[in-house]
Chain A
Amino acid sequence: MADSKRISKIILAAVIAFFLISWIIKGLAIHDEDSVLWFSVRDAFLITLAAFLTLAIFSFLYKDNPYYKFAENLFVGVSAAYWMCVGFWSTIIGNMLPNLSESLSSTFGVPYKGFNIFYIVPLILGILLLMRLSSKAGWISRWALAWIVGTTAGLNLVRYLRTDFISQVSNTFVPLLVDWKGFGAFYSGLSLASTGQFVMTLSNWVIFIGVFSGLIYFFFSKEHKGFFGVASKVGIWVLMITFGASFGYTVMGRVSLLVGRLTYLFKDWLGLIS
C-alpha cells in the first residue's frame, strides 16, 4: 500500500515536471521580440494545459486513473458553468429584461423594448423551476416542468406528424420507372450517371423494396412463412446493411475526433506539422 502511494507520488511529480518543462519550452518557442512576454507565457500555458487534458483523457485507454477522472470532472463542471452563463446572458439579460424593466435594461446595456406583461409568465416559471433547489418547496418546480412538458409535447406532436411522419411517408412514394418511354428509349439512353434514368429507377426500387420488406419484418400479426418469410428475411438484410452503414459512419466520426486531437498535439503543442 505504502509502495503504491509512493509510486503514485513519483508519477505525479514526473507529470508535473514534464508539463512544466513543456510550458517553458513552448513559451520560448512562441515568444519573439514583437510579442508581449505575458501573452506568450499565457498562451504557452493554455496550449500545454490543453495538451495535458487531452493526454489525461487518452490515458483511459490504458486504464482508469486519477488524471482521467480529473479531466472528466473538469470538463463536466466547465460545460455546466458555460451553458448556464451563456443562457443567463442570452436569455435572461438578452430577452427578458428588455421586455420588463427599462432601468435594468440600461444597466446591462440592452435596448429596452417596452413593458410586456406576458414576459412575467416565464419569469415566474423560471423562479418556480429554481425551487427545486429547496428540499421543502421542491415540489413547486413540477408546475413549471409540467408547463414545459405540455407545451413541448403539443408543439412537437403537430410538427413531427406533419413534417416528419406524413412527409416521410410521402417521400417513399417514388416512381418505379423514372421518365419511362419504353424499353427502346431505356436501353438507348442507358447511363450510370447518378442523375440518369437507370440509376434513379434502381435507386427508387431499392427504396421501395427496403421500406416494404423492413415494414414486413416488424409486422408480427402474421407468421413469417412463404412470401411473408422471404420478404421478412430481405427486411433483416436491409436492416443489417443500414446498421453496417451507421457503424461505418460512426467509425468515420470517431476517427475524425481522434485526428482533431492528434492534429492539436502534433501541430499546436509539439510543432511537428505545419
Chain B
Amino acid sequence: MSNIGLIISLIVIAIGLLWLFILSLRGKEVERRIIFLFIGLSVSVPLLFNITFSEKATPIVMDVFNKVENLPAGSKILLSYDYGPSMAPEVEPMSNAFLRHALAKGHRVYVMCLWATGQSLAATAIDSVVKKDFPDKVYGVDYINIGFKAGGTGVLNVIITDFRKMYLTDVDGRDLDSLPIFNGIRSLKDMDLLISIGGGYPGVKEWILFAGSQGNIPTAGGCAAVSAPLLYPYYPKQMVGLLGGIKGAAEYESQLKKVYKRFEKSPTPGIKMMGPQTLAHLIVMAFIVIGNISYFVSKRKRS
C-alpha cells in the first residue's frame, strides 16, 4: 500500500515538473510559491513513505571514526556542543553518534558548550543517548557535562592552559575537584581528542585555531553543511576529519551500525534524512534546468 502511495506521489511530482517545463518552454514565469510547494512535497513524500538509502563512509568521515576507534579505552574525549536549536536537526545526529561511539569504546566523555543554547541540547543528548543506551555509565566517572561559559574564543584561550580558571563546577554546580573524571585534568592539553559540533561562531574553526593547532591536540569536527566548504582546507593537517552536514552524519551512523551490532536498532536520523535530501536535490536540479531554459527562451524571444 505504501509503495503505491509512494509511486503515485512521485508520478504527481514528475507530472508537475513536466507541466512547469512546458510552461517555461512557452516563456511563462513560475511563481516562487510553486517552487516552495514542490520542495515541501519532495521532502514530505520520502519522510511519510520512509525512503532511505545505504551510506558508505568517505575517507574524511572514516578518519574521525578510526581516530575514536583506535584510541585506547579510557581515553579522554571532549565533545563541544557549539550549536542551537536552529542547527540541531542537522548536527544533533552527529553529536549523538559521537556520544554512542565514544562511550561504547569505553572512553571518558567531557561535554561542554561555547554556545549557551548548546547547554540544554547537551543535557537532552545525555538523557536520550547516555542514560538510555548506557545505563551502566556513571556521571562524573565515565562522562560529565560542564556546560556553557560566555566568552567564545576567550574560553578556549583560558582552558588551553587551565580548565579551573574558567570551569569551577559542572553544569549542576558540583565542584569539579570532587568528580573523579576530572582527576589529573588540568587543561585541554590533557585531552586525547577534541570534537566540536557546530556551524557558526565560535565553532569547529575556532577549536582548530585556538585549541587544536595551538596545543597540538587532535581535533575533529561535525558541522552544518553551510560551513563545511570553509573547513575542508584544514583537513588533514590541522583537523583529523570532518562530518560535513547531514551526509557526514549519515555516513558516521552507517559506519557505527556496521561495526557495532548493538546499535543496529538505535535511531539513525541522519540516514533517514538522506531520502528527503536526495529527492529535494533532484527537484532543485530540475528547477535549475527549467530556470535556465526559461531564461534562454525569453532571451531568444526578446532578440
**A interface list, Cβ under 8 A from B:** 61-62, 79, 82-83, 86-87, 90-91, 94-95, 98, 109-111, 113, 152, 155-156, 159-160, 162-164, 167-168, 170-171, 194-195, 242, 245-246, 248-253, 255-263, 266, 272-273
Contact = CB atoms under 8 A, between A and B. Distances in A.
Main secondary structure of the interface of B (DSSP, over half): helix
Given A256-B273, A257-B86, A257-B89, A163 B229 contact: no
B59 interface: yes
Given A90-B149, A162-B213, A249-B245, 15 more contacts: A82-B117, A83-B116, A87-B150, A159-B157, A159-B209, A246-B229, A249-B225, A252-B225, A253-B90, A253-B226, A256-B225, A258-B280, A260-B89, A262-B44, A266-B44
B232 to A, nearest CB: 9
19 contacts: A110-B168, A113-B168, A163-B210, A164-B209, A248-B281, A249-B229, A250-B225, A250-B226, A251-B281, A252-B225, A252-B245, A255-B281, A256-B277, A258-B40, A259-B47, A259-B276, A260-B88, A262-B40, A263-B269
Main secondary structure of the interface of A (DSSP, over half): helix
Interface of B: 33, 36, 39-40, 43-44, 47-48, 50, 58-59, 86-90, 116-117, 119, 147-151, 153-154, 157, 166, 168-169, 173, 175, 199, 208-210, 213-214, 224-226, 228-229, 233-234, 237-238, 244-247, 269, 273, 276-277, 280-281, 284
B214 A272 contact: no
B258 to A, nearest CB: 18
A227 B151 CA distance: 48
Contact of A171 (B149, B214, B226, B238): B238
B238 A167 contact: yes
A168 B230 CA distance: 12
A120 B43 CA distance: 54
B149 A159 contact: no
Contacts of A259: 43, 47, 89, 246, 273, 276-277
